[in-house]
Homo-oligomer: A and B are copies of this chain.
Amino acid sequence: MPQDSDHIVRSFDEDLKKLRDMIVRMGGLAEQQVADSTTALMRRDSNLAQEVLTRDSQIDQLEREIEAYSVRLLALRQPMGADLRFIIAAMKISHDLERIGDYARNGAKRSIVLASLPLTGSLNGFGRMARLVQENLTAAIDALVQDDAEAAKQVWGADEPVDDIYTGIFRELLTHMMEDPRNITAATHLLFVAKNLERIGDHATNIAETVHYAVLGDQLPDERPKSDSSAYTALRPHAD
Protein backbone atom coordinates (compact mmCIF):
# COMPACT_ATOMS: atom_id res chain seq x y z
CA MET A 1 0.00 0.00 0.00
CA PRO A 2 1.46 3.40 -0.91
CA GLN A 3 2.36 5.51 2.09
CA ASP A 4 -0.06 8.29 1.14
CA SER A 5 -3.09 6.03 1.25
CA ASP A 6 -1.91 4.55 4.55
CA HIS A 7 -1.58 8.05 5.91
CA ILE A 8 -5.13 8.90 4.83
CA VAL A 9 -6.52 5.76 6.48
CA ARG A 10 -4.79 6.47 9.78
CA SER A 11 -5.89 10.05 9.69
CA PHE A 12 -9.57 9.13 9.28
CA ASP A 13 -9.27 6.84 12.30
CA GLU A 14 -7.93 9.84 14.17
CA ASP A 15 -10.88 11.92 12.99
CA LEU A 16 -13.27 9.30 14.34
CA LYS A 17 -11.36 9.11 17.60
CA LYS A 18 -11.61 12.88 17.94
CA LEU A 19 -15.36 12.67 17.35
CA ARG A 20 -15.67 9.94 19.99
CA ASP A 21 -13.68 12.03 22.47
CA MET A 22 -15.98 14.99 21.88
CA ILE A 23 -19.01 12.79 22.66
CA VAL A 24 -17.35 11.44 25.82
CA ARG A 25 -16.57 14.97 26.97
CA MET A 26 -20.12 16.09 26.26
CA GLY A 27 -21.49 13.02 28.04
CA GLY A 28 -19.38 13.80 31.11
CA LEU A 29 -20.63 17.37 31.15
CA ALA A 30 -24.26 16.27 30.82
CA GLU A 31 -23.86 13.79 33.68
CA GLN A 32 -22.38 16.49 35.86
CA GLN A 33 -25.23 18.84 35.06
CA VAL A 34 -27.79 16.21 36.04
CA ALA A 35 -25.89 15.43 39.27
CA ASP A 36 -25.41 19.08 40.23
CA SER A 37 -28.95 20.17 39.46
CA THR A 38 -30.24 17.34 41.66
CA THR A 39 -27.80 18.18 44.47
CA ALA A 40 -28.85 21.83 44.18
CA LEU A 41 -32.48 20.75 44.56
CA MET A 42 -31.92 18.48 47.54
CA ARG A 43 -29.57 20.83 49.43
CA ARG A 44 -31.54 23.95 48.45
CA ASP A 45 -28.26 25.30 47.09
CA SER A 46 -29.05 28.15 44.69
CA ASN A 47 -25.38 28.90 44.05
CA LEU A 48 -24.83 25.43 42.67
CA ALA A 49 -28.04 25.78 40.63
CA GLN A 50 -26.68 29.00 39.20
CA GLU A 51 -23.48 27.18 38.18
CA VAL A 52 -25.59 24.65 36.27
CA LEU A 53 -27.34 27.49 34.43
CA THR A 54 -24.01 29.07 33.52
CA ARG A 55 -22.44 25.83 32.34
CA ASP A 56 -25.31 24.93 29.98
CA SER A 57 -23.88 26.99 27.11
CA GLN A 58 -20.81 24.68 27.06
CA ILE A 59 -23.08 21.75 26.22
CA ASP A 60 -24.87 23.72 23.51
CA GLN A 61 -21.53 24.72 22.06
CA LEU A 62 -20.31 21.12 22.02
CA GLU A 63 -23.44 20.00 20.17
CA ARG A 64 -22.77 22.57 17.47
CA GLU A 65 -19.13 21.55 17.23
CA ILE A 66 -19.98 17.86 16.97
CA GLU A 67 -22.56 18.50 14.27
CA ALA A 68 -20.24 20.74 12.27
CA TYR A 69 -17.39 18.25 12.60
CA SER A 70 -19.64 15.33 11.61
CA VAL A 71 -20.94 17.12 8.52
CA ARG A 72 -17.34 17.94 7.58
CA LEU A 73 -16.31 14.30 7.92
CA LEU A 74 -19.29 13.22 5.79
CA ALA A 75 -18.31 15.69 3.07
CA LEU A 76 -14.55 15.09 3.12
CA ARG A 77 -14.35 11.38 3.93
CA GLN A 78 -17.53 10.09 2.31
CA PRO A 79 -17.60 7.19 4.77
CA MET A 80 -19.63 3.99 4.41
CA GLY A 81 -20.77 1.14 6.62
CA ALA A 82 -19.79 1.26 10.28
CA ASP A 83 -17.93 4.60 9.93
CA LEU A 84 -20.98 6.25 8.39
CA ARG A 85 -23.21 4.83 11.10
CA PHE A 86 -20.84 6.05 13.79
CA ILE A 87 -20.92 9.62 12.46
CA ILE A 88 -24.72 9.59 12.21
CA ALA A 89 -24.81 8.18 15.74
CA ALA A 90 -22.50 10.94 17.02
CA MET A 91 -24.89 13.60 15.72
CA LYS A 92 -27.92 11.90 17.23
CA ILE A 93 -26.24 11.32 20.59
CA SER A 94 -25.01 14.91 20.81
CA HIS A 95 -28.61 16.01 20.30
CA ASP A 96 -29.80 13.72 23.11
CA LEU A 97 -27.06 15.07 25.37
CA GLU A 98 -28.07 18.64 24.54
CA ARG A 99 -31.65 17.80 25.52
CA ILE A 100 -30.41 16.21 28.77
CA GLY A 101 -28.50 19.43 29.46
CA ASP A 102 -31.66 21.46 28.86
CA TYR A 103 -33.67 19.34 31.29
CA ALA A 104 -30.92 19.71 33.91
CA ARG A 105 -30.94 23.47 33.34
CA ASN A 106 -34.71 23.62 33.73
CA GLY A 107 -34.42 21.61 36.97
CA ALA A 108 -31.78 24.04 38.23
CA LYS A 109 -34.06 27.02 37.47
CA ARG A 110 -36.88 25.40 39.39
CA SER A 111 -34.62 24.48 42.31
CA ILE A 112 -33.82 28.19 42.72
CA VAL A 113 -37.54 28.94 43.12
CA LEU A 114 -38.00 25.88 45.33
CA ALA A 115 -35.21 27.01 47.67
CA SER A 116 -37.46 29.93 48.64
CA LEU A 117 -40.59 27.83 49.23
CA PRO A 118 -41.54 25.63 52.19
CA LEU A 119 -41.23 21.94 51.33
CA THR A 120 -43.22 19.03 52.69
CA GLY A 121 -42.31 15.44 52.10
CA SER A 122 -39.01 13.89 51.28
CA LEU A 123 -36.93 14.48 48.16
CA ASN A 124 -35.28 11.06 48.38
CA GLY A 125 -37.14 9.77 45.34
CA PHE A 126 -35.51 12.52 43.27
CA GLY A 127 -32.07 11.46 44.47
CA ARG A 128 -32.73 7.82 43.57
CA MET A 129 -34.16 8.74 40.20
CA ALA A 130 -31.20 11.00 39.39
CA ARG A 131 -28.72 8.28 40.37
CA LEU A 132 -30.43 5.73 38.14
CA VAL A 133 -30.58 7.99 35.08
CA GLN A 134 -26.92 8.99 35.59
CA GLU A 135 -25.92 5.32 35.77
CA ASN A 136 -27.82 4.62 32.56
CA LEU A 137 -26.27 7.63 30.87
CA THR A 138 -22.74 6.60 31.91
CA ALA A 139 -23.37 3.02 30.79
CA ALA A 140 -24.71 4.19 27.42
CA ILE A 141 -21.66 6.38 26.73
CA ASP A 142 -19.35 3.57 27.92
CA ALA A 143 -21.08 1.20 25.49
CA LEU A 144 -20.28 3.65 22.69
CA VAL A 145 -16.62 3.86 23.71
CA GLN A 146 -16.37 0.04 23.95
CA ASP A 147 -18.39 -0.61 20.76
CA ASP A 148 -20.49 -2.88 22.98
CA ALA A 149 -23.94 -3.57 21.51
CA GLU A 150 -24.86 -5.99 24.30
CA ALA A 151 -24.15 -3.40 27.02
CA ALA A 152 -26.17 -0.88 25.02
CA LYS A 153 -29.10 -3.28 24.88
CA GLN A 154 -29.00 -3.70 28.66
CA VAL A 155 -29.24 0.06 29.19
CA TRP A 156 -32.09 0.17 26.71
CA GLY A 157 -34.09 -2.18 28.94
CA ALA A 158 -33.04 -0.61 32.27
CA ASP A 159 -35.29 2.44 32.27
CA GLU A 160 -38.28 0.76 33.91
CA PRO A 161 -37.27 1.45 37.57
CA VAL A 162 -36.90 5.13 36.64
CA ASP A 163 -40.47 5.19 35.36
CA ASP A 164 -41.68 3.43 38.51
CA ILE A 165 -40.06 6.01 40.81
CA TYR A 166 -41.51 8.77 38.65
CA THR A 167 -45.03 7.38 38.93
CA GLY A 168 -44.61 7.12 42.72
CA ILE A 169 -43.36 10.71 43.02
CA PHE A 170 -46.24 11.90 40.85
CA ARG A 171 -48.87 10.32 43.12
CA GLU A 172 -47.16 11.55 46.29
CA LEU A 173 -47.00 15.14 45.05
CA LEU A 174 -50.64 15.11 44.04
CA THR A 175 -51.49 13.91 47.54
CA HIS A 176 -49.46 16.73 49.14
CA MET A 177 -51.26 19.27 46.98
CA MET A 178 -54.66 17.95 48.00
CA GLU A 179 -53.77 17.96 51.68
CA ASP A 180 -52.78 21.61 51.76
CA PRO A 181 -53.08 24.22 49.00
CA ARG A 182 -49.94 25.91 50.36
CA ASN A 183 -48.00 22.96 48.91
CA ILE A 184 -49.31 23.51 45.40
CA THR A 185 -46.66 25.87 43.99
CA ALA A 186 -43.73 23.84 45.25
CA ALA A 187 -45.32 20.52 44.32
CA THR A 188 -46.03 21.76 40.80
CA HIS A 189 -42.39 22.67 40.27
CA LEU A 190 -41.37 19.30 41.72
CA LEU A 191 -43.74 17.54 39.29
CA PHE A 192 -41.84 19.14 36.43
CA VAL A 193 -38.46 18.34 37.96
CA ALA A 194 -39.52 14.69 38.23
CA LYS A 195 -40.78 14.80 34.66
CA ASN A 196 -37.42 16.24 33.59
CA LEU A 197 -35.57 13.34 35.22
CA GLU A 198 -37.92 10.88 33.57
CA ARG A 199 -37.21 12.52 30.19
CA ILE A 200 -33.46 12.41 30.89
CA GLY A 201 -33.86 8.67 31.45
CA ASP A 202 -35.63 8.41 28.08
CA HIS A 203 -32.74 10.20 26.39
CA ALA A 204 -30.22 7.84 28.02
CA THR A 205 -32.30 5.03 26.54
CA ASN A 206 -32.26 6.73 23.13
CA ILE A 207 -28.47 6.99 23.32
CA ALA A 208 -28.21 3.28 24.11
CA GLU A 209 -30.47 2.53 21.15
CA THR A 210 -28.29 4.65 18.88
CA VAL A 211 -25.12 2.92 20.12
CA HIS A 212 -26.72 -0.44 19.36
CA TYR A 213 -27.51 0.77 15.84
CA ALA A 214 -24.00 2.18 15.35
CA VAL A 215 -22.34 -1.09 16.36
CA LEU A 216 -24.64 -3.61 14.69
CA GLY A 217 -26.41 -1.60 12.01
CA ASP A 218 -29.88 -2.77 12.99
CA GLN A 219 -32.61 -1.08 14.95
CA LEU A 220 -34.10 -2.19 18.26
CA PRO A 221 -37.86 -2.75 18.28
CA ASP A 222 -40.08 0.32 18.39
CA GLU A 223 -41.47 -0.31 21.87
CA ARG A 224 -39.13 -0.69 24.80
CA PRO A 225 -40.29 -1.87 28.25
CA LYS A 226 -41.97 1.13 29.83
CA SER A 227 -44.09 1.44 32.91
CA ASP A 228 -44.78 5.15 33.35
CA SER A 229 -48.54 5.30 33.71
CA SER A 230 -48.75 8.80 35.17
CA ALA A 231 -50.43 10.17 32.04
CA TYR A 232 -53.38 7.95 32.95
CA THR A 233 -53.33 8.77 36.68
CA ALA A 234 -56.59 10.08 38.07
CA LEU A 235 -56.01 10.50 41.77
CA ARG A 236 -58.93 12.10 43.58
CA PRO A 237 -58.67 14.35 46.62
CA HIS A 238 -59.31 12.71 50.00
CA ALA A 239 -61.77 15.24 51.29
CA ASP A 240 -64.46 17.24 49.59
Give me the interface of A with B, judged by CB distance under 8 Å. 57, 60-61, 64, 67, 71, 74-75, 78, 80-81, 84-85, 88, 91-92, 95, 106, 109-110, 112-113, 116-117, 174, 177-178, 181-182, 184-185, 188-189, 191-192, 195, 219, 222, 231-237, 239-240
* A-B contacts, 9 listed (Cβ < 8 Å): A74-B88, A88-B91, A95-B95, A109-B231, A113-B233, A181-B237, A181-B240, A188-B191, A189-B231
The answer on a CB contact under 8 Å between A185 and B181 is no
The answer on a CB contact under 8 Å between B191 and A184 is no
Bound complex: CA A61 to CA B219 (Å): 12
Taken together, the copies of this chain in the complex come to: 2
Residues in B whose Cβ lies below 8 Å from that of A64: 219, 222
The answer on a CB contact under 8 Å between A182 and B240 is yes
Nearest chain B CB to A73's CB is how many angstroms away? 11
Bound complex: CA A78 to CA B75 (Å): 7
Nearest chain B CB to A167's CB is how many angstroms away? 13
Residues in B whose Cβ lies below 8 Å from that of A88: 67, 71, 74, 91
Q: Given A116-B234, A222-B57, A222-B60 in contact, is the A185-B174 Cβ separation under 8 Å?
A: yes
Q: Given A57-B222, A71-B88 in contact, is the A184-B174 Cβ separation under 8 Å?
A: yes
The answer on a CB contact under 8 Å between A185 and B232 is no
Nearest chain B CB to A189's CB is how many angstroms away? 8
The answer on a CB contact under 8 Å between B71 and A182 is no
Bound complex: CA A75 to CA B233 (Å): 46
The answer on a CB contact under 8 Å between B191 and A231 is no
Bound complex: CA A235 to CA B185 (Å): 6
Bound complex: CA A160 to CA B140 (Å): 36
Bound complex: CA A91 to CA B95 (Å): 12
The answer on a CB contact under 8 Å between A85 and B113 is no
Residues in B whose Cβ lies below 8 Å from that of A189: 231
Residues in B whose Cβ lies below 8 Å from that of A181: 177-178, 181, 237, 239-240
Residues in B whose Cβ lies below 8 Å from that of A92: 95
Q: A116-B234, A185-B237 are in contact. List 11 more A-B contacts (CB 8 A).
A: A75-B80, A88-B91, A106-B231, A110-B231, A177-B177, A181-B181, A181-B240, A182-B237, A184-B184, A185-B234, A192-B231
Nearest chain B CB to A33's CB is how many angstroms away? 15
